[in-house]
Amino acid sequence: MLASMNPFQHIDTPENLTQVLALAHAESMPVCTSGSLATYIPALSSANPNALGLALCTDEGQIFQTGQADCRFSMQSISKVFALAYVMAELGEEAVFSRVGKEPTGDPFNSIIRLETSARRKPFNPFINAGAIVISDLMPGTTPADKAAGFQRFVGSLVGRTDVEQDDSVYVSEKASAARNRAIAWFLKELGLISGEVEDTLDTYFRQCATLVDALDLARAGACLALDGVHPLSGKRALPENCAHTVKSLMVTCGLYDGSGEFAVSVGIPAKSGVGGGIMAAVRDRMGIGVYGPALDGHGNSAAGLWALGILSRQLDLRVL
């Protein structure tokens, strides 16, 4: 559909995409050993640190994959992109951005410090934990399970399947070990930014973070963002255009936390990571990319995944910044 408008058609041939994906996988595998698994959520420490899966979904819905692209893992912070899009689509931009800003922090994802020191007294953006917990509080529904079910249906509409669910062991594990997120949430309550019960809001947040996807899912959802909300498989609109624009802009400035600036310079595409090892990227009008590599760098981003995205960006001329 959009292929005729795509000036990169000559690079995006099936042969070239297959070859470049294989190259990126082979050259990034050794980088797995430079990272380490997230252990602060105990259930995440049982992943295979040498796993690496890559998937691409083109603007026409063609899928390419290599390695453990169909291995399911918890979305963790990638859920913050879906949650922002979901709540914006349901409640509008004003409901969201009256409570959360649009600015990067340069701080780690779980930092609490600016909630107290900033004159604005609201989280800087929806992709740090503080901002994401405010978004979880806004989700439509009654109980945390009900809110999470609505969220998972929405995720399903973007990844292209109807059986999206959470990993209960990851959910239970994070809920039992989330002292810092509890501190953040109570601070938000004091600021008047959480209307529900703090423990319920956190429960919704832990459920959304435990939502299971694979790299193929992330590639399809990334492609939907790349097409400004039109789904590459159905050709139908799955997300309002303004929601797609807003989440992609924030992915550029805040998607990899305090690694966002470095990634914008070295890779140059909108992306969002999670401590489960996933990265979702969206390349305007061309493709979505999904990555799974649970060994993380010091910022909590997939070490081999970042390396692979750098190779894909250079080989396929993906840079949009």
* Active-site residue list: 77, 80, 205, 257, 275
Site membership for ligand GLN, residue 211 (CB under 6 A)? no
Q: What's the one-letter identity of residue 306?
A: L
Of the pair 123, 229, the CB lying nearest ligand GLN is at 123
Select from 101, 123, 293, 300 the one that contacts ligand GLN (CB under 6 A): 300
Beta carbon of residue 109, minimum distance to ligand GLN (angstroms, whole number): 4
Beta carbon of residue 110, minimum distance to ligand GLN (angstroms, whole number): 5
DSSP string, 233-286: TT-SB-S-HHHHHHHHHHHHHHTTGGGHHHHHHHT-S-EEE-TTSEEEEEETTT
With CA atoms as reference, report the closest residue to 229 among 238, 242, 221: 238
Site membership for ligand GLN, residue 201 (CB under 6 A)? no
Beta carbon of residue 275, minimum distance to ligand GLN (angstroms, whole number): 4
Site membership for ligand GLN, residue 77 (CB under 6 A)? yes
Select from 12, 59, 137, 174 the one that contacts ligand GLN (CB under 6 A): 174
Report the SS3 class of residue 56.
Answer: strand
Site membership for ligand GLN, residue 184 (CB under 6 A)? no
Site membership for ligand GLN, residue 181 (CB under 6 A)? yes
Beta carbon of residue 169, minimum distance to ligand GLN (angstroms, whole number): 14
Site membership for ligand GLN, residue 310 (CB under 6 A)? no
Task: Count the neighbouring beta carbons within 10 Å of the beta carbon of residue 274.
Answer: 28
Q: How many whole angstroms from its chain centre is CA 141?
A: 22
Residue with tokens 């399903």: 156
Q: Which residues pair with 279 in a beta bridge?
A: 273, 291
What is the rounded CA–CA span in Å between residue 109 and residue 312?
Answer: 26
Binding to ligand GLN in span 240-279, by CB under 6 A: 274-275
Beta carbon of residue 14, minimum distance to ligand GLN (angstroms, whole number): 33
Site membership for ligand GLN, residue 104 (CB under 6 A)? no
Q: List Cα–Cα distances, 265 to 51, 236, 251, 269, 306, in angstroms.
A: 26, 33, 14, 9, 12
Q: What residues make contact with ligand GLN under the rule CB under 6 A?
A: 76-77, 109-110, 129, 174, 181, 209, 274-275, 300
